[in-house]
Amino acid sequence: MVDPLVAVLRRGEQQVWLDEELGGGEAWWQTILERIRSCTVFVVALSNNSLRSKPCQAELAYARALLRPVLPVQIGPVDSVRVTPLAATQIIDYRHRNASADARLVAALHSLSRRAVPLPAQLPEEPMVPFAYLMRLSSDLSGPELSYRKQAELVLELRSRLDEDCHDPTVRNDIIQLLCRLRDRPDVTVRTRADVDAVLAANDPSFTAATVGLPVAAVTGARPATTRLSPGASAGADAQASAARRWRLGRWTKTKVVVAGAVVGVAAVGAVAAQITWTPSEPAAPVLADDSDVEAAMATPGMVTVQQDLEAFKPGSSIDVSRPECLGVLYPGVDQVYQGSQAQRAAWKVLEEPGGLQRAGVNGRPFVDQDIVVFAPNSGGAAAFVEQSVAKWRGCVGQRVTVSYPDHNTYSWTVGDEVGDAPRISQTYTLDPDGYTCQRVLNAVDDTVIDVKACGEHITDQAGVLTDMIAALVTRAPSF
């Protein structure tokens, strides 16, 4: 499941480093922590297994303590994000890979990487090596002699650890192998052997009355190992990758290329740190996507801002719309649409290919109109505006709306289905008769309405991608 994610980032000039060449234990963990410290964007390959993985969660907490921007990318099933550390973080859904998902991923990573900050002056405490108890218990089992009391203590701890970490398949396997090592010792008591056999039979169906007592391989150690699924295996939707890996992806300057990563157990896909050498640069526009971000989202090189106003709404009085109730569906940030909403201020940019401002639909050119509208703090005005807009947008579904301009040019649009519900809705409309399409997204984030329009001949969810980028800027959080 993680391979498509890696492939897209590689095409975006990302370098991929895996820790398959590293041993386990302290050196393995220290290398991972160093890569997190040196990265600019920390990507979490999100699934149920990564949410249950102790190493993944430790790495995420460490990255956040280091002020690294976090980019969660969902690649597998997730029961609930609301009760996880990512509950307040915007997540990119990459379960169904397509051009829109690829564009959203690349644009988000590019946007976050440009907002890198130095490490805090006082570095946070390093998390401990995950599952270090495995090394300690393995060392205990290597001793020349174990008393009955020590054997009983080992059985008790191994049973407890198995209950605690049974969701991690590699750790579970290591604990089972430690139990087998204890059972097969020459000095083991009959009582200890019976206790171990009971634990094994309860946790692994392969340990039955016919198999207990057979020798097993020695414990592999504390470092998780990759297990590949057989071609015909059916391990559930959360284990469909050919190999389950946790990656650290690095994008550096041409003079410094490093590839970093770590391996975990079956389908326990976890953290990815996109590493980019940080050099101070001019800050991005505070609340609207930069031209380069729009280029990436639209997959159209050369798009530039051709008109903007960072303080006011767009006047709509010069536009004649055959169905006035659909004005807000066709045009973002228009003063008439927000009249009476208690909005305080607005900002907008229109972007096209070089050559001056042209209307959406002229010569099939890509067109982006990105707007934000700010309401009073904690007023609920932004959410209320989107809530009120839902019925208006749905009322325009299937309508043919003709727009006339003062220069006597007219354009007829057929409005498509409205998708979603407050606080985020979207809708598309198509220019008759050539099929040129615009997508609109309206999204309330905190006290701001994000109002975006993206048009072109091959529109999928580009307006959604831009909305996500602006949402991260609005919240001032590394939350793509």
Give per-residue pLDDT as tens, 88-104: 677 888 888 887 778 88
**Delimiting residues of CATH 3.40.50 domain(s) in the chain:** 3-129+225-274
Measured distance CA(241)–CA(181) in Å, rounded: 31
At 13 the pLDDT is 61
Phi, psi (rounded to 5 degrees) for 98: -155, 180
At 242 the pLDDT is 30
- Cis amide leading into 231 (omega within 30): no
Q: Which two tokens stand for residue 374?
A: 């700010």
The CATH-assigned architecture of domain 291-475 is 3-Layer(aba) Sandwich (3.40)
End-to-end CA distance of the chain: give it in Å, rounded: 20
Residues forming a β-bridge with 421: 424
Q: Which two tokens stand for residue 456?
A: 């072109």
Neighbouring residues of 205: CB distance < 8 A, sequence distance ≥ 6: none
**Delimiting residues of CATH 3.40.1000.70 domain(s) in the chain:** 291-475
Measured distance CA(399)–CA(271) in Å, rounded: 46
Give per-residue pLDDT as tens, 413-429: 999 999 999 999 999 99
Q: Would you say 269 and 57 are in contact if contact means Cβ atoms under 8 Å apart?
A: no
- What does pTM read for this prediction? 0.46
Measured distance CA(320)–CA(376) in Å, rounded: 31
Sheet holding 15-17, edge to edge: 15-17, 246-250, 260-262
Placement of tokens 């059916």 in the chain: 234
Maximum C-alpha span of the chain:
97
Amino acid at 410: T
At 206 the pLDDT is 62
Buried b (16+ CB within 10 A) or exposed e, 259-281: bbbbbbbbbbbbbbbbbbbeeee
At 369 the pLDDT is 96
Q: Which two tokens stand for residue 383?
A: 């959410």
With a cut of 70, which residues of the chain have pLDDT below it? 1-2, 6, 10-25, 81-84, 87-88, 115-116, 204-286, 355-357, 476-480
Neighbouring residues of 32: CB distance < 8 A, sequence distance ≥ 6: 19, 59, 248, 262
Q: Would you say 39 and 283 are in contact if contact means Cβ atoms under 8 Å apart?
A: no
* CATH match for 3-129+225-274 among 3.40.190, 3.30.360, 3.90.550, 3.40.50: 3.40.50
At 302 the pLDDT is 87
At 83 the pLDDT is 66
